[in-house]
Amino acid sequence: MKCRKCGEKAAVNMRQHKLALCRQHFLEWIPEQTQRFIEKYHMFGRGDRILAAVSGGKDSLSLWDVLLRLGYAVDGLHINLGIDGGLRYSEESQRLAQRFADERGLGLITVNVAEVEGAAIPEAAALTRRGQLKPCSLCGLTKRYIMNRVARDGGYDVLVTGHNLDDEAAVLFGNALSWSAGYLARQGPVLEASSDGLARKAKPFCRIYERETAAYALLRGIEYIYDECPFAEGATSLYYKGILNRMEADRPGLKLSFYLSFLEAKRAGLLASQQAAAEPGLHPCQSCGQPTSAPGQCAYCRTWHRVRERKGEKAPTEQP
């Protein structure tokens, strides 16, 4: 297989685009594509201050790398969730995110959940109803909350995440299976800021296949955490990804056209009424001031308050 641009030996063959490229041309192609999507979906501009949520995985580190190469001003945010699972998962994730930043002299903000809230995600989840099955729901809530708070407090114009096409197609698949109109209405490359305090969010890799972000990280020599979160096993999103991959193997490009047809249908007005209905009436949380649709306290404050209460109840020193 030869590179379409120079005829040298191809390093990456992308059947989904009927395109094979050598290392050098692939490493140029990814930023070109990303820039095209940033413009097409009006994600952000040159003067904007960008905060990238970096997990230490291939997608978010590659995204940070690509945005820097494109000349954007980007700080990183890493959230240490305190997940061990025998792999030292969080420790290793933070080490790799920090290393990436240090090697390039970049600013990385780190927030350690256990230090801020007094319990790591697995322990906290075990203490609340949100942890009945797995800690993922508490984890998701906590990540979203912290990302929004840091982006807002730091005065960033936009928060970017490394969600790739496989992530977006899997979420879309799940939402379409249940016709969750509200979620479908809000899914897209950009989530606008709201006047009540939700930061603007963008996903510059939403049209880049996971295989492509992995190849990019590998060919750029970016060291990232290979392991999945130990709690991801059996997750519905992985199940959907598996199904979509099987379809993609028979019909290259299926994931992309599934996602693009959805965006096109939305642009044409499908879900327009849901869009309006999906705007939740937000107001400031009584405790922390971040926007919430819940009456009184936001879900984050309510949940973590409960964790602290239960932890206090459990502490042997507090037993009568």
Least Å distance, CB 147 to ligand FES, is 13
d(CA 189, CA 205): 9
Contact 279, 271 (CB under 8 A): no
Residue type, 54: V
Least Å distance, CB 279 to ligand AMP, is 23
Site residues for Zn ion, 256-295, by CB under 5 A, read 285, 287-288
Least Å distance, CB 81 to ligand AMP, is 6
The smaller minimum CB distance to ligand AMP, of residues 11 and 97, is found at: 97
SS3 content of the chain, % helix, strand, coil (to 5): 50, 10, 35
Closest listed residue to residue 223, CA positions, set 95, 91, 53, 85: 95
The smaller minimum CB distance to ligand FES, of residues 179 and 226, is found at: 226
Contact 41, 259 (CB under 8 A): no
Binding partner selected for residue 135 from Zn ion, ligand FES, ligand AMP, none, CB under the kind-specific 5 to 8 Å limit: ligand FES
Q: Tell the burial category of 302 from Cβ atoms under 10 Å away from its Cβ (0-12, 13-18, 19+).
A: middle
Using CB positions, name the residue nearest to ligand AMP.
162
Phi/psi for 186 (5° steps) reads: -90, -15
Contact 164, 210 (CB under 8 A): yes
The smaller minimum CB distance to Zn ion, of residues 33 and 245, is found at: 33
The smaller minimum CB distance to ligand FES, of residues 121 and 169, is found at: 121
Contact 160, 51 (CB under 8 A): yes
Residue 77 sits in the site that holds ligand AMP (CB under 6 A):
yes
Contact 93, 53 (CB under 8 A): no
Site residues for ligand AMP, 142-161, by CB under 6 A, read 143, 161
Residue 206 sits in the site that holds ligand AMP (CB under 6 A):
no
The token pair at 58 is: 């291939």
Residue 22 sits in the site that holds Zn ion (CB under 5 A):
yes
Binding partner selected for residue 30 from Zn ion, ligand AMP, ligand FES, none, CB under the kind-specific 5 to 8 Å limit: none
d(CA 129, CA 124): 10
Size of the site for ligand AMP (CB under 6 A): 14
d(CA 1, CA 77): 39
Binding partner selected for residue 5 from Zn ion, ligand AMP, ligand FES, none, CB under the kind-specific 5 to 8 Å limit: Zn ion
List residues binding ligand FES (CB under 6 A). 81, 135-136, 139, 229, 231-232
Residue 79 sits in the site that holds ligand AMP (CB under 6 A):
yes
Grouping H, G, I as helix, E, B as strand and the rest as coil, residue 53 is strand
Chain centre distance of CA 206: 10
Least Å distance, CB 315 to ligand AMP, is 28
The token pair at 78 is: 């890493």
Binding partner selected for residue 162 from ligand AMP, Zn ion, ligand FES, none, CB under the kind-specific 5 to 8 Å limit: ligand AMP
> Can you tell me which of 201, 301, 303, 304 binds Zn ion, judged by CB under 5 A?
301
Task: Point out which residues bind Zn ion (CB under 5 A).
Answer: 3, 5-6, 8, 22, 25, 285, 287-288, 298, 301
Task: Point out which residues bind ligand AMP (CB under 6 A).
Answer: 53-55, 59-60, 77-79, 81, 143, 161-163, 167
